[in-house]
Amino acid sequence: MILPLAPAHLMALAAFQLSALLLFLDPRLAAAPLLVFVATCLAAPLFPGFSFYLPIVSRGRKGVPGVALTFDDGPDPLVTPRVLDLLDRHGVQATFFVIGQKAANHPDLVRDILARGHAVGNHSQTHPPFLMLQGRRAMAREVAAAQAVIRQCGVVPLAFRPPVGITNPALWRVLLDQGMFCVNFSCRAWDAGNRRVAGIARKLLAKVRARDIILLHDTAPRRVTVDCLLAEFDGLIQGLKRKGLPILPLSALLGKEIMETGAPGDLHAARVFYDGLADHYDHEQFCSGVSRSRRMEQALFSARLPHLFAGAGRVLEIGAGTGIFTLDLARYCREVVAVDISSRMLDILQRKALEAGIRNITPVQGNVETLDLPEPFSAICAFSALEYLTDLPGLLARLAPGLEPGGTVYFITARRSLFRLFTQMGNAMRQGIWLKARSRREMAAMLAANGLEPVEISGHLLKSWLSGGMLLEVVARKRA
């Protein structure tokens, strides 16, 4: 379920609670927390890297020793072709955040940008400077209209840069609905859209540092010639090289794609998130705060693996990801149909399988709730994936007929509990998606309604008198 939860929401809750408390202690101070909150709300949009209303990407990943060049407000027939020639001469790739209306007037320029190896992002349809003062519907129209124009050139932007870099509370939901994320910048020359060209290179070189996203504009300057503008860009690129700062594609700096080529797929928010996380997913799962949960899953799975899956025929794994569980499954059964919404995660899974000499994994990219899958199955399993589904009862009703009589169902999923609530909130702040947690009773009822007999449903991880655990392990069989 799309449910964007931002620091702004938590600050609002804290401000109201603190205000209510102060009302009893000292009424004169009761308004102070609310005033601080309002002041923060007014100031936040003016800071391009402040993720107050939504996650904003404004710098590269830690440890990446380079910078990225981005150009806004084009394409411009007087400037963009010459910028492309300059980038070619230096062997540099950049990202162009184009205005939909200009792209519609000059589609050949957008195609030329792409043909020369650069990326294209969405910068709204008409670039209204006060777009963020308008309502959600107006923002949605601006973003969607620009997407439609750019798609005509053969790519689907995943990155959106708001006009003037200003954000507001409604923008995140608009981007999630489009399967996009927000990219701003961390280094700019305050050129006012090329109204102040003199000294662009000097200003930027004086403050640029590794991981910066540099903001430039490929629009005609107001007071100087295009030659002067190009000279500044040339000086900047040469200066970056002298400083030992490699100029990287924005996708390389961020570790996530800025656009996808070809026909638009299902730009589900989870797909865009996990495509961007794919290269670092395994490290995060085992070297971060979520590792305890993942290692518990592995231990539970390893204990069940020989008993539940040895000699199985075709096994369906929902949310296979990078293959953390898939490779072991494949060693015990005839075939694993590995379904995941992220194509990049599945690419990593296939690479792992190839390196391990495993040939019985069939990857299937897409939303399992809408896919036609090869039946029958000897077993169906999922590991921390059912939380993302919008209609788990409906999916079980669709899959149960394709499960062989006596076939196994094995799920490890989020268990509803007080502790789980905090992780659900954290996920809503990170991905904008509210992950569904379920009780033992709910899971048992869903299984029974579809002819699946629960064998064991147990809670694990952080079990206490307050909570039955954060993980729900489910073993069931289809009635013969």
Q: What is the DSSP letter of 86?
A: H
217 carries an active-site annotation: yes
Question: What is the reported pLDDT for 32?
Answer: 94
| Max CA pair span of the chain | 81
Active site residue 106: no
Residue type, 130: F
- Which pLDDT belongs to residue 265? 54
Q: What single letter denotes the amino acid at residue 343?
A: S
Question: Residue 97 and residue 124: Cα distance in Å, rounded?
Answer: 9
Structural domains of the chain ordered from first start: 7-44 (no CATH), 53-262 (3.20.20.370), 280-478 (3.40.50.150)
The pair of structure tokens assigned to 98 is: 């184009």
> Which residue is catalytic, options 72, 76, 212, 218?
72
Say which DSSP state 46 is in: G
What's the pTM?
0.89
Per DSSP, helices labelled H in 310-362 are 326-332, 343-356
- Cα separation, 58 vs 79, in Å, equals 25
pLDDT tens, per residue, the chain with 480 residues:
788 999 999 999 999 999 999 998 888 899 999 999 999 999 999 899 999 999 999 999 998 999 999 999 999 999 999 999 999 999 999 999 999 999 999 999 999 999 999 999 999 999 998 888 888 999 999 999 999 999 999 999 999 999 999 999 999 999 999 999 999 999 999 999 999 999 999 999 999 999 999 999 999 998 899 999 999 999 999 999 999 999 999 999 999 999 998 655 566 788 889 998 999 999 999 988 889 999 999 999 999 999 999 999 999 999 999 999 999 999 999 999 999 999 999 999 999 999 999 999 999 999 999 999 999 999 999 999 999 999 999 999 999 999 999 999 999 999 999 889 999 999 999 999 999 999 999 999 999 999 999 999 999 998 887 778 999 999 999 988
Q: What is the pLDDT of residue 264?
A: 53
Q: Which of 106, 118, 127, 217 is catalytic?
A: 217
The conformational region for residue 159 under phi > 0 = left, psi -120 to 50 = alpha, else beta, is: beta
370/325 Cα distance (integer angstroms): 23
**What tokens were used for 146?**
């620009």
* φ/ψ bin of 470: left (φ > 0), alpha (ψ from -120 to 50), beta (otherwise): alpha
Strand-pairing partners, residue 97, are 72, 121
Predicted pLDDT of residue 266: 63
pLDDT of residue 311: 93
- Beta-bridged to residue 217, according to DSSP, are 72
The 8-class DSSP code of residue 391 comes to -
Whole-number CA gyration radius for the chain:
26
